[in-house]
Amino acid sequence: MDELKLGQHISQQFNEELEDIRTRVMYMGGIVEQQLADAIKALTTMDVSLAEVVITNDYKVNALEVSIDEECTQILARRQPAASDLRLVMAVIKTITDLERIGDEAERIGRMALHFAEKGGENKMLAGIVHMGDLVTRQLHNALDTFARTDSEAAIMVAREDKKVDQEYETILRNLMTYMMEDPRTIPILVDMMWSARALERIGDRARNICEYVIYLVKGKDVRHTSVDKVADDARSFLKDQE
């Protein structure tokens, strides 16, 4: 396992500041995970009260992003970190941005859950959403786990899971289009389902982004806009060079 080894600094307070932002990212990630789980449950069970809770609680995610971002800014200004310390701060800033956007997507699913319940949606329309929701929930959890352990090898494996999410998204769209052609009266409510599936697909993309930040944090290599297979090949080459 290829993990980041953060050094210890003369200033104990600096050590504590770096550890604190990592801890707060995981706390924020936990809230976002719960938001996503509640949003999916609200949609698939047509639970209006739970959907309203998801919508209302989005402010917690937003507040955490602002607070952690401010803390990172203070570290950059006061400590002028370099090397792995700087990469950690930058990875945290990027990660909380994606977590905030995942929170926004969860809120969007919550709003779609309200529409779905109000319009009297049928369970058969949710078949693919349940499976896709499970995939995305697991991908987000695993991405946050790689961040917590700064495990770049695991991050590569989790990033690969996004392909499954994309395939499921395409399957759901095809099924929903079939329903629309069979009964045009269902189009308004099925559009909501499409938006929900789209939100889940975007969450999968955000989870992959977090994995890319972990790889950057550990290896110092920016792998954005690079295929997962290319990242894996580069990782193997890196390890050989270290032997």
Specify if 175 maps to a domain: yes
- Structural domain containing residue 100: 12-223
**Position 243 in a domain:** no
Q: Which two tokens stand for residue 169?
A: 């998204």
Q: Is the pTM of this model over 0.85?
A: yes
Query: Is 113 a member of any domain?
Result: yes
- Predicted confidence band at 10 (pLDDT cuts at 50, 70, 90)? low
In this predicted structure, the answer to whether residue 3 has a pLDDT above a threshold of 60 is no
CATH of the domain at 202: 1.20.58.220
Helix axes 127-149, 12-45, angle to 10 degrees: 170
The total number of structural domains that make up the chain: 1
Band (57; pLDDT cuts 50, 70, 90): very high
Q: Is residue 1 assigned to a domain?
A: no
Q: Is residue 229 part of a domain?
A: no
CB contact at 8 A, 128 and 172:
yes
- Mean pLDDT taken over the chain: 88
Per-residue pLDDT at 5: 53
Q: What's the token pair of residue 32?
A: 């976002």
Handedness of CA 25, 27, 33, 38 (dihedral sign): negative
Per-residue pLDDT for 237 more than 60? no
Residue 6 placed within a domain: no
Alpha carbon distances (Å) from 138 to 81, 171, 226: 33, 19, 23
Q: Which of 33-42, 87-96, 127-136, 141-150 has the lowest mean pLDDT?
A: 127-136
Give domain status of residue 228, yes or no: no
Domain assignment present for 46: yes
Cβ pair 180, 190 in contact under 8 A: yes
* Token digits of residue 76: 């950059």
